[in-house]
Amino acid sequence: MTNQLRIAVAGANGRMGKILVEAAAVDDSVNLTVATVRPGSSLIGVDAGELAGVGNIGVQLSDDLSSNIDDFDVLIDFTSPEACLSHISLCEKHRKSVVVGTTGLSEQELANVGLSAQHIAIVFAPNMSVGVNLMWKLLEVATEVMGEYADIEIQETHHRHKKDAPSGTALKMGEVIANKLNRDLKDVAVYGREGLTGERDSKTIGFATTRAGDVIGDHTALFADLGERLEITHKSSSRMTYGKGAMRAVKWVVEQPSGLYDMQQVLGLK
């Protein structure tokens, strides 16, 4: 028991927060010691395991990460960009490692994460599932073979509650493809089309976003030529795939020196 890695989960009442509490509860090598909710939440004091549906785990929800700072080794954050940045600053001050799954950060916010990573180890990954991380590798191969001549479009579908668009996963798909083509995604991305758009510019990468029902997360990259098209699709059918990935990341990040890491490094895919 004493060798267990002590982890904190921020946003423990969220869709992912509850999954992370459950994933930690069934993983013998980690010990969930801290779980937080939004400041002033009516859930303060409620047992995190009870809320996640895994029974009492003896961890009461708190709205103050700083008062629990000595009680954990690694923080997992799947919250919002604003909350995530303040959690990272606190962890930087106290030299705690962080695993970040939160998406929707601006360029400036991403740069701030990079600065914090000069002092602590951070795994920052818009998708922690094995399949998506493998898909990013497959996209490199597809781009190498078809990228210069095919029309490339990225499609994603998520549940009605998702707040950011396109998804972090879709944006990373675009980055992987653009990098392989030596293009800057900022210059070639087209985020939706409407009206008299003119013919398709062959250098662009299009994005289409759908928000509907309870879809956990579907992503497709389309490479279309005249006469054939290749579609590379990933579909999540359980959030536990992200939860398990996050558990792998906490165990990995705690062994690393300061730096900014991604999930492909955690999984040994690069």
Ligand X SMILES: O=C(O)C1=N[C@H](C(=O)O)C[C@H](O)C1
Q: Binding string to ligand NDP for residues 82 to 101, with x set by CB under 6 A, is what? A: -x-----------------x
Given the residues 87, 96, 158, 219, the one annotated as active site: 158
Residue closer to ligand X by CB (options 132, 142) is 132
Residue closer to ligand X by CB (options 241, 265) is 241
Residue 260 touches which member of ligand NDP, ligand X, none, C-beta under 5-8 Å by kind: none
Which whole-number Å values give the CA distances from 27 to 5, 39, 49, 91, 144, in the listed order?
A: 10, 28, 14, 23, 39
Looking at residue 62, the DSSP 8-state letter turns out to be B
DSSP-derived pairing of the beta strands 189-191 and 205-211 = parallel
Burial class from Cβ neighbours inside 10 Å (0-12, 13-18, 19+) for residue 164 reads middle
Q: Is 18 in the site for ligand X (CB under 6 A)?
A: no
How far is residue 64's CA from residue 58's CA, in Å, rounded to a whole number?
A: 17
Stretch that binds ligand NDP, among 31-39, 185-193, 203-211, 220-228 (CB under 6 A): 31-39
Looking at residue 270, the DSSP 8-state letter turns out to be -
Q: What angle do CA 201, 205, 211 make, to 5 degrees?
A: 125
Binding residue positions: 11-16, 38, 101-103, 125-128, 159, 168-169
Of 33, 97, 103, 265, which one interacts with ligand NDP (CB under 6 A)?
Answer: 103
Cis amide linkage into residue 166, ω under 30° from 0: yes
Of 13, 79, 167, 220, which one interacts with ligand X (CB under 6 A)?
Answer: 167
Q: Is 158 in the site for ligand X (CB under 6 A)?
A: yes
Residue closer to ligand NDP by CB (options 99, 152) is 99
Q: Is 116 in the site for ligand X (CB under 6 A)?
A: no
Asked if 13 contacts 37 with a C-beta cutoff of 8 angstroms, the reply is yes
Residues involved in catalysis: 158, 162
